[in-house]
Structure 1
Amino acid sequence: MARGQRFLAILRPLLLSLSLLPSAGCSKEGSSDQPLTVGFIYVGPRDDYGYNQAHAEGAAALAKLAGVKTREEENVPETVAVQKTLESMINLDGATVIFPTSFGYFDPHILKVAEKFPDKIFLHCGGLYDGSKHPSNVGSYFGYIDEAEYVSGIVAGMTTKSGKLGFIAAKPIPQVLRNINAFTLGARSVNPSVTTAVIFTGDWSMPVKEAEAANSLIDQGVDVLTAHVDSPKVIIELAERRGAFSTGYHTNQATLAPKGYLTGAEWNWSKVYTDYMTFIREGKPYPHLLRGGFKEGYIKISPYGPAVSEEAKKKAEEAKAKLTEGTLTIFQGPIMNNEGKVVIADSVAQQQTDIALESMDYLVAGALGSTR
């Protein structure tokens, strides 16, 4: 899927500027007494217990706002099909603001349609906007989900009985590696001997390979599974059937594993989308590059499951509070990779906005696997 392959491209434009830039069409869309039609486009089903469902939950929050109508289209591939869907939402549904949520929608599809409709607003999940070359009616948003992964790792590290965690991921790209490493660092902050076995499936939605990886890890003694794939549903359900614990990703999967689900790293897109609506409906400039973590309310953790001890909850909440306050840095040196090389020096603290994190190409010590 192009979304994964292009994540490497986010290195420079993401953090060059987080300033508020003028939004296109604000005077037209900004009156709060005018009905506003907002479109959402998903690459998969909106009830996938994963990436698409998280965005659909955000859309549902917007639908509750007075004066806002939402239109949704699911299972739209990252091809010219998304251009047709965008134009249909504009011409037939009257959409003036559209959130095309999949990473691969951006270039060339969103960019082409944005140029054809300069009075409409296109806000894309992924952070690829570059003000020096992209249309002014385009914006990008994303979040520091590794903060929630760190907290999930603490819970996993304090719950495991074998000391073996498992992480099933799509591809060894920076954003995925950042999550794996944050999860591992969180776990080892409370249980220094714990390990995280990592398996890459090769793509974002491969249920058969995900199930094979989950079974393999459990067979090797792993008793807590987590994932970074489009939908962790297969992995969470399999862990429950086999008596293993799990932590989730994207959205809450607790209903899939009532006994073994510990917590999870969730997006809170409803906060992002309602924030954008406030800017747009009031005719104010909106952020063309929007990022946030716990502090901004753009991410959250799933409620703790029945297997989580009071001590683990306390440790997790302490870490969450520090991350929210900005007094805890996940990638604080010294940090070594799993090949014994120092990747972050003793005196270095890489904060969330540090561009070095956007080119991460390693697994930290304690994470078992290869990025090659």
Structure 2
Amino acid sequence: MKTSYIIGLVVVAIIVIAGAYYYTTTLSPQPQQFKVAAIYISPLEEPWNQALHQSLLKAKNELGIVYNYSENVGDSTVAMVMTQYVSAGFKMIFPHSWSYHPVTNATAAQYRSVFFAQGSGMNMNYGNNTVLYDYHIQEAAYVAGAIAAKITNTSKIGIVTAFPGVGDVDNLLNGFIAGAKSVNPNVTIVISYIYDWYAPSKAKEAAAGLIESGVDVIYSERYGVFEACKDSNGKIIAYAFGNIVDQNNASDAVIGSVVWDTYPMVKELIQRAQNGTFIPGDYIASMSKGTSKFVWNPVNAAKFPEAKAYSDTLVQKIINGSVVVPLNFGPPSP
């Protein structure tokens, strides 16, 4: 009788403990993952978008964030998309287009508990929750320009880009031109505008026109140039530079890439937002921070050893400050 009574007490105790454990594990508040969203104005495969997208995927794996994105979002609908993300509990939003900046200004002012990282723009109202970042990689573009002047056989270099009068793009073009002129002040540089942000067929056509005119090295500021750099037999008729992301695997006609590594920035912004040390204002990329890089295509590094050695020395001079490549948002003067 006494034994049965003791067994009964044990069973009851087990049930109570199990119940308490169930209550604790299912009903106690659980830590929420930090939710980050990016909004892209064009297809995700555009290099400008890939530069951020790949870094946010890396942050998802390494920092444990939730990452969602929307692509092909026009200026007329971006405010609605931002608000939807805020309503869904997202704590940081990357509106990744110059044309979004007026909407980011207005939306960030409405939701001060949400952090906004605006990709390119002007006249920002930073408040306590907004940063402006951009691909200020004119240092890497300068290195590319110097290499172009070193390897050209015609002393005629080309640039394929989107629109005239876009300051952050002009900053890259000015860097490239300055780098080329530092090696050969008399080099000819021709700029071809395609009047589109992402139109590979237009970029290819523009590159073909440059090559026909005698250009033998092209800065592919817009994607699509590489397809024009070989003839119908696969022979290289012009070399090119990738832009924003590492495009060296695209073709052996790619000398190297002017790379914008956004991960150091993404990591810092997310961690500062999480720990309460977020600093509003401008985030400037640079070689010394590791966010601006020139990455050689190994195939062509071996083919042009003199240019490779020259560029390596130039990079070190930029990092240590003995060569300064300033921001220059004015119209390029080839």
What range is the shorter-chain TM-score in?
A: 0.7 to 0.9
1:17-76 deviation per Cα after TM superposition (whole angstroms, max 9, x unaligned): xxxxxxxxxxxxxxxx6521111111122223x111111112112112233111111111
Structure-2 residue corresponding to 1:336: none
Structure-1 residue corresponding to 2:81: 85
Q: Shift of residue 124 of structure 1?
A: 0.4
1:269 maps to 2:262: yes
Kept after mapping to 2: 8 A contact 1:129/1:140: no
Structure-2 residue corresponding to 1:70: 67
Structure-1 residue corresponding to 2:212: 219
1:189 maps to 2:179: no
Kept after mapping to 1: 8 A contact 2:129/2:278: no
Structure-1 residue corresponding to 2:39: 41
Kept after mapping to 2: 8 A contact 1:236/1:253: no
What is the letter of the counterpart of residue 210 of structure 1?
Answer: A
Instruction: Give runs of aligned pairs for residues 305-320 of structure 1, distance below 5 A.
Output: 305-308=298-301, 309-320=304-315
Q: 1:283 to 1:202 in 2, by over 3 A?
A: same
Q: 1:175 to 1:142 in 2, by over 3 A?
A: closer
Greater Rg, structure 1 or structure 2?
A: 2
1:233-259 deviation per Cα after TM superposition (whole angstroms, max 9, x unaligned): x112222456221101111122221x2
Name the SS for the 1:71 alignment partner: strand
Q: Which runs of 5+ in 1 are unaligned?
A: 1-32, 331-350, 368-372
Structure-1 residue corresponding to 2:23: none
Structure-2 residue corresponding to 1:104: 99
Kept after mapping to 1: 8 A contact 2:78/2:100: yes
Distance 2:296 2:32 in 1: 38
What is the letter of the counterpart of residue 322 of structure 2?
Answer: T
Q: Shift of residue 217 of structure 1?
A: 0.6
1:260-313 deviation per Cα after TM superposition (whole angstroms, max 9, x unaligned): 110121111111100112211221132421113101122112233423312111
Kept after mapping to 2: 8 A contact 1:111/1:135: no
1:115 maps to 2:109: yes
Structure-2 residue corresponding to 1:12: none
Instruction: Give runs of aligned pairs for residues 1-372 of structure 1, distance below 5 A.
Output: 34-48=32-46, 50-79=47-76, 81-92=77-88, 94-107=89-102, 109-128=103-122, 130-131=124-125, 134-173=126-165, 174-229=167-222, 232=223, 234-241=224-231, 243=236, 244-257=238-251, 259-308=252-301, 309-330=304-325, 351-352=326-327, 357-358=328-329, 360-363=330-333, 367=334
Q: Shift of residue 192 of structure 1?
A: 4.0
Kept after mapping to 1: 8 A contact 2:204/2:226: no
Q: Shift of residue 129 of structure 1?
A: 5.2
Kept after mapping to 2: 8 A contact 1:225/1:236: no
Distance 1:37 1:298 in 2: 24
Q: Shift of residue 130 of structure 1?
A: 3.8
Q: 1:195 to 1:164 in 2, by over 3 A?
A: same
What is the letter of the counterpart of residue 101 of structure 2?
Answer: F
Q: 1:127 to 1:318 in 2, by over 3 A?
A: farther
> How many residues are aligned here?
297
Distance 1:223 1:103 in 2: 32
Q: 1:181 to 1:119 in 2, by over 3 A?
A: closer
How large is the RMSD of aligned CA atoms in angstroms? 2.1
Structure-1 residue corresponding to 2:27: none
1:317-338 deviation per Cα after TM superposition (whole angstroms, max 9, x unaligned): 11111111121023xxxxxxxx
Name the SS for the 2:206 alignment partner: helix
Kept after mapping to 2: 8 A contact 1:45/1:74: yes
Distance 1:67 1:192 in 2: 50
Kept after mapping to 1: 8 A contact 2:204/2:227: no
Distance 1:156 1:279 in 2: 39
Output the TM-score relative to the length of structure 1: 0.74
Structure number with the bigger relative contact order (C-alpha 8 A, sep ≥ 6) is 1
Kept after mapping to 2: 8 A contact 1:140/1:290: yes
What is the letter of the counterpart of residue 305 of structure 2?
Answer: E
Output the TM-score relative to the length of structure 2: 0.82
Q: Which runs of 5+ in 2 are unaligned?
A: 1-30
Name the SS for the 1:177 alignment partner: helix
